[in-house]
Amino acid sequence: MTGSFAAGGRLRQRLDTLRRRFDEVDISALLVTHPANVFYLSNFRGSAGMVLVTRDRATLVVDARYATAAAALLDGEAGGEAFDLALVESSYEQTVVALVERLGSSPSLSHLGIESAHMTVAQHEWLVHAFEGSSVTVRPTSGLVEEGRSVKDADELSTLRDGGRRISSVMAAALQGLRPGRSEREVAADIDRAIVQAGFERPAFETIVAAGSNTALPHARPGSRILESGQLVLLDFGGSLDGYCVDLTRVASLGPPGDDAVAWHAAVQEAHAAALAVVRPGVAAVEVDGAARHAIAERGLAHAFTHGTGHGLGIEVHEAPRIGKRQDRDPTDAAAEAPLRAGMVFTVEPGVYLPGRGGIRLEDDLVVTQTGYELLTRVPLDLHVL
């Protein structure tokens, strides 16, 4: 467990916000099993751990590997909240059942919510069977903690601003350092080292370095391809700072770019600006995507924009909100129609991809403010010509 954590007061606010949602889904407690959500509520980061949140207590459940660290954590940063510590003796599930049975002697803990997106069918069935004959019922829930995570508090925004500054510096240096004759994999390795040297714990995801026609692959993996004069090179990377992720993409040309590359870049840069122009509280996420998509369509490249315009950033590199089209299977797509709120952090990253020829993506991170947005990443958007 490392990093600068949310203070006890922040944790209390997060837990209270979660508890206020219990009645909406008719639960009296929630078993939190998703590692990102466990960290958000307790500051605990480990390979295993759970948090049981009732209406008046929160219990961090860990195994013996984390006993000392978790106890110190609860005595420190999380100590302001009514947190208990439960150590696993046989299995996590059995420990939780025993804990619920001990706490649930009254009707106040009759409906136990679980995070249905983060629990296996086997675990769910085991819990249901374990509570058979008791007054406790297990109820699937979805997105209760994630809803709170979608709007960042002051601690989170401070970390993300710092991360944005750091990753921007890494990108500026990486663009300047591009040279023909090196492989994609070598450039990616240099970037990964620079990310750590800039103060990040680790890259937020596998660094993308794509040269030539590989730039037409939205999630290209760096390989043995050698950078050559006249090629486009796409760099997409991020870092995890104190548990929070930032993400940035730019494109360079090794020598004067061709007419196609210039046209593609102009289209994507216009789409990037169009998306930013509509960002403000109350605007639906789908409107941001629509603005970018319209700008690219005006350039005759609608077919080449094959992904959403952005994604939320925070503890995970992909989280709420989703900045994309309405799902075809769901014309009332709640995620797409959800209004933006001040404090939401997400990427704007339109792109065009022409298979076998090349592609362009331009990505920045922003936070929604009361009147518009604030960019967290600042690297010139122009096609960087070396």
pLDDT in tens, 126-179: 999 999 988 899 999 999 999 999 999 999 999 999 999 999 999 999 999 999
41/60 Cα distance (integer angstroms): 10
Number of C-alpha atoms within 13 angstroms, CB side, residue 243?
Answer: 22
Same domain, 302 and 166: yes
Same domain, 286 and 355: yes
The H or E element that residue 312 is part of is: strand 310-312
We report the CATH number of the domain holding residue 168 as 3.90.230.10
Picking from 92, 113, 148, the residue at the C-terminal end of a domain is: 148
357/301 Cα distance (integer angstroms): 14
Same domain, 220 and 369: yes
**pLDDT value at residue 2:** 39
Per-residue pLDDT of the chain (386 residues; tens, 9 = 90+): 334 456 668 899 999 999 999 999 999 999 999 999 999 999 999 889 999 999 988 999 999 999 998 988 888 765 556 689 999 988 999 999 999 988 765 556 889 999 999 999 999 999 999 999 888 999 999 999 999 999 999 999 999 999 999 999 999 999 999 999 999 999 999 999 999 999 999 999 999 999 999 999 999 999 999 999 999 999 999 999 999 999 999 999 999 999 999 999 999 999 999 999 999 999 999 999 999 999 999 999 999 999 999 999 999 999 999 999 877 555 556 666 889 999 999 999 999 999 999 999 999 999 999 999 999 999 999 999 99
- What is the domain count for the chain? 2
**pLDDT value at residue 74:** 84
**pLDDT value at residue 371:** 96
**Residue range of the domain that includes 288:** 154-385
Query: Does residue 308 form part of some domain?
Result: yes
Query: Does residue 326 form part of some domain?
Result: yes
**pLDDT value at residue 3:** 41
Quick: pLDDT tens for 286-301. 999 999 999 999 999 9
57/104 Cα distance (integer angstroms): 12
Give the single-character DSSP code of 363.
B
**pLDDT value at residue 78:** 55
Same domain, 289 and 352: yes
Picking from 148, 163, 188, the residue at the C-terminal end of a domain is: 148
Query: Does residue 1 form part of some domain?
Result: no
Burial class (CB in 10 A: 0-12, 13-18, 19+), 105: exposed
Same domain, 19 and 161: no
Number of C-alpha atoms within 13 angstroms, CB side, residue 383?
Answer: 24
We report the CATH number of the domain holding residue 78 as 3.40.350.10
Same domain, 17 and 121: yes
**pLDDT value at residue 109:** 82
Query: Does residue 2 form part of some domain?
Result: no
Same domain, 166 and 128: no
**pLDDT value at residue 326:** 77
Query: Does residue 3 form part of some domain?
Result: no
Quick: pLDDT tens for 239-248. 999 999 999 9
Adjacent-strand bridge partners of 368: 373
Task: Enter the pTM of the model.
Answer: 0.93
Same domain, 139 and 168: no
Same domain, 162 and 20: no
Query: Does residue 112 form part of some domain?
Result: yes
Adjacent-strand bridge partners of 223: none
Identify which of 356, 298, 292, 355 has the alpha carbon closest to the alpha carbon of residue 324. Answer: 292
Adjacent-strand bridge partners of 384: 252
Helix 184-197 vs helix 154-176: angle between axes, to the nearest 10 degrees?
A: 140
Query: Does residue 23 form part of some domain?
Result: yes
199/239 Cα distance (integer angstroms): 9
Picking from 127, 148, 169, the residue at the C-terminal end of a domain is: 148
Same domain, 81 and 177: no
Query: Does residue 246 form part of some domain?
Result: yes
Same domain, 195 and 317: yes
Same domain, 141 and 211: no
Helix boundaries (H) for the chain: 8-19, 35-42, 67-75, 92-103, 121-130, 144-149, 154-176, 184-197, 259-277, 285-298, 334-337
